[in-house]
Amino acid sequence: MIAPSDTLMPVTPESRAYSVVPRENAAGHQCLEVSLGPQHPSTHGVFRMDVVVDGETVVKLKPVYGYLHRNHEKIAENISFIGSMPFTDRLDYFCSMTNNWAYALAVEKLAEIKVPERAEYIRVIMAELTRLINHTCLVGFLLNDLGAWGTPLLYAFREREKMLDLLEAVSGARLMCNYMRFGGARCDLPQGWVSKASEIVNSYDRFLDEFETLLTGNEILIARTQGVGVMTAAQAINASITGPMLRATGVDYDLRKAAPYGIYDRFSFRIPLGEHGDTYDRYYLRILEMRESIGILKKALAEIPEGPFCADVKIRSFKTKPGEVLSRIEAPKGELGFYLISNGGPSPYRYHVRPPSFINLTLLEDMCLGSKIADVVIILGSIDIVLGEVDR
Amino acid sequence: MFGKGLIQGLGVTAKNFIESFSKPERMTTVEYPEQKVQVQENYRNFPFLVFDEDPANPRCVACKICEKECPPQCIYIEEVRDEKGKAVRRPAIFDIDYSVCMSCQICVEACPFDAIKMDQVYELSTQDRFEGLLFHKEDILKPNDYFGRIHPTDAKEINLKLREAADKKKKADEAKAKAAAAAAATPKPPTA
């Protein structure tokens, strides 16, 4: 029911969002409104935070996004089904493989396509490689935000480079892979790829050990991150936070276990859980998740069967049955969902993305209130956002 | 002991520093303009048009499927028309705007004639942001041998497929010609 207009608040300068911010603190000292971003290097893209600070303490924080809006959802409603596959790469540009998978999964559900065995293995391998890439980079960026300029980030990038070479050998591109197709993958793994991948995966544990020696016990890291940006389990569930952010609060929810898609039910792996929900837990959880991913990768690379890499699905004039479908996968950043409605035409009638970064960002203010402005930067860093996905 | 983690971490950086001079897995950078990394076989960059023998007669038949399928709409095609205005199956204009192209390879997959393929050239920087990256038919027509050189595995498969199709067509044509000749040889029944 719409409220009668006389009960609505009149729009006055005082009622505008900008003016609701506290102007003074309790002692009568003036507060300062700072615009962090949109081109601040610590905002991981074009993201802006309107922060009101009392001295150095944050008293209000308003996230402002939309600078990278590209109209992805509307464009997808006007081009063919396969045409939006390369655009999904650009959502979360660190993890193009998982984005492809989530979208392919939705269309496969709509068109009732059965995916061959080998393709399922290829998908799991690609998704877990992506998880390694994403988490390694995230730890690097987080440390960069903490002020460890360069060293951990470049170590992370050095390892990521090896895996990007693997993705390039398969798909032809390092970041914008555009590799998954409805019913499988675009091309088969090249000759000798599996052994090359196994080599890198097997040596990855050693890198993680080294990375942990550098970081996990570091007193500066502990002092800066423990107890910073605490989120409770109740808060996280209420705001539908997913992924490592949710698990860091101790909630055991991973789609790979909770609602297995693909062939994840064939792998045995553990779900690492945090305890305190602070920034340190979120950092350490990602290291632990990488170790589980390595286990999955080793098994998948050893077991990958021969056979067709894609079901027989034509590219030109592809149409699905009319219907409505939601696919969700556990992307490295959280639950990535694609919601499609088709009316049987060549393009989806409605296309919606549920991006994990965007929804994980909703609790930013709750985590930041009362902390110092230097902590805001690392809390944002620990959420693991990619603006391509937040703004779409 | 406070500071133990810090000292251990410094040990790691020291190890990395020393090994970055000797261990190949820690030496990851190359000095680019002088040294170049060999591109991988599957590497793709921008599309080009394939011709078999004569650049004036490319494989492309201007069917405009790629133009229609291209997600960022960077292809523009016009077919050759004869004096009566009827379309001849050949492109008169085939422009690709490389500044818009996002290297997604959808055109390659959509092409039913294997006429458009992905190139591997990457040093394309130009000072003219509009015309400099708008590539015309003449710029992007490349021989099939070149495609065989950059993507040997794919090219082998496609050449085999095309040869088989050509043989089949030749046989069918021959059979048709034979049938026509036979039909011409037999006297027509007189029409009363």
Radius of gyration of chain A (CA): 22
pLDDT at A226 over 80: yes
Query: Which among A3, A77, A154, A30 has a CA at the least distance from the CA of A351?
Result: A77
**Mean per-residue pLDDT for A315-333?**
87
At A8, the pLDDT band (50, 70, 90 cuts) reads very low
At A294, the pLDDT band (50, 70, 90 cuts) reads very high
- What integer best gives the mean pLDDT of chain B? 85
CA A72 to CA A62: how far, in whole Å? 25
Chain B CB within 8 Å of residue A220 CB: yes
CB A261 within 8 A of CB A105: yes
Among partner residues B8, B40, B110, which is closest to A315 by beta-carbon distance? B110
pLDDT value at position A3? 42
Contact at CB, A83 and B69, closer than 8 angstroms: yes
Token pair recorded at residue B44: 């793709």
Please give the C-alpha separations between residue A69 and each of A46, A72, A75, A93, A388, in angstroms, as whole numbers: 10, 8, 12, 14, 8
> Which range, of A25-39, A108-122, A143-157, A329-343, averages the lowest pLDDT?
A25-39
CB A178 within 8 A of CB A96: yes
CB A303 within 8 A of CB A155: no
Token pair recorded at residue A141: 């960026």
H helices of chain A, where?
Answer: 17-20, 72-76, 85-89, 96-111, 117-146, 151-171, 193-202, 204-215, 219-225, 233-238, 244-247, 255-258, 279-303, 356-360, 364-368, 373-383, 387-391
pLDDT at A329 over 60: yes
Please give the C-alpha separations between residue B176 and each of B162, B172, B184, in angstroms, as whole numbers: 21, 6, 12
Among partner residues B6, B102, B153, which is closest to A176 by beta-carbon distance? B102
pLDDT value at position A128? 92
H helices of B114-189, where?
Answer: 137-140, 144-150, 152-185
Chain B CB within 8 Å of residue A199 CB: no
pLDDT value at position B128? 86
pLDDT at A10 over 60: no
pLDDT value at position A41? 65
Chain B CB within 8 Å of residue A326 CB: no
Distance from CA of A172 to the nearest CA of B (A): 4
Mean pLDDT by 10 residues, chain B (192 residues): 83 87 81 87 89 83 87 88 82 88 88 88 86 86 86 84 86 86 74 60
Q: Which amino acid is at A157?
A: F
Contact at CB, A186 and B109, closer than 8 angstroms: yes
Tens of pLDDT, residues A141-151: 888 888 888 88
Tens of pLDDT, residues B90-131: 888 888 998 889 988 888 988 888 888 888 888 888 888 888
Token pair recorded at residue A144: 């960069």
pLDDT value at position B189? 67
Chain A CB within 8 Å of residue B104 CB: yes
pLDDT value at position A19? 45
